[in-house]
Amino acid sequence: MTPSTRAILVGVALVGACSPAPAPELEAPEVGAEQGVVTGLPIDRLRLPLGDAGLLMEVAVSLPHNYDPSQAYPVLVIPDADPLMGLLQTVSFLWVEEGTAQGAILVGLPFGDSAGAIWANRSYYLLPDSVGVVEYYGAQLPLNTGGGATELALFLAEEVLPAVEARYSVDHARMGLVGFSMGGLFAAWHLVTHPGFFTDYLIIAPPLSAPMIGSDFERSFEQRLGEGFDRPTRVYVSYAEDDLEMVKVGAARWIEAWSGVDDVNLSFRSERFPGLRHDGGAVPALLNGYKFLYGS
ω into residue 83 within 30 of 0, thus cis? no
d(CA 284, CA 275): 12
pLDDT at 238: 98
pLDDT at 216 over 90: yes
pLDDT at 13 over 50: no
* Range from 25-39, 55-69, 106-120, 248-262 that averages highest in pLDDT: 248-262
CB neighbours of 291 closer than 8 A, spacing ≥ 6?
A: 95, 100, 101
The top-level CATH class assigned to 29-294 is alpha beta
Lowest mean pLDDT among 77-81, 164-168, 266-270: 77-81
How many other CB atoms sit within 10 Å of the CB of residue 43? 18
d(CA 257, CA 203): 15
ω into residue 79 within 30 of 0, thus cis? no
User: Residue range 233-252: average pLDDT?
Assistant: 97
- Sign of the Cα torsion 199, 251, 244, 121 reads positive
Name the residue ranges covered by the structural domains of the chain. Answer: 29-294
* Among the listed residues 229, 233, 242, 227, the one whose alpha carbon sits nearest the alpha carbon of residue 273: 242
pLDDT at 38: 40
* Among the listed residues 264, 156, 140, 147, the one whose alpha carbon sits nearest the alpha carbon of residue 212: 147
d(CA 235, CA 266): 7
Angle between helices 115-125 and 182-193 (to 10 degrees): 20
pLDDT at 40: 55
User: Residue range 67-90: average pLDDT?
Assistant: 94
What is the rounded end-to-end Cα distance, in angstroms, of the chain?
25
Contact (CB, 8 A) for 32 and 133: no
Helices (H) and strands (E) in the chain, counts: 9, 10
Q: Which residue has the higher pLDDT, 247 or 1?
A: 247
d(CA 225, CA 229): 9
| pLDDT, averaged across the chain | 85
pLDDT at 8: 29
Cα–Cα distances (Å) from 143 to 93, 139, 178, 201, 206, in that order, read: 35, 13, 21, 24, 15
d(CA 29, CA 121): 12
pLDDT tier at 143 (50, 70, 90 boundaries)? confident
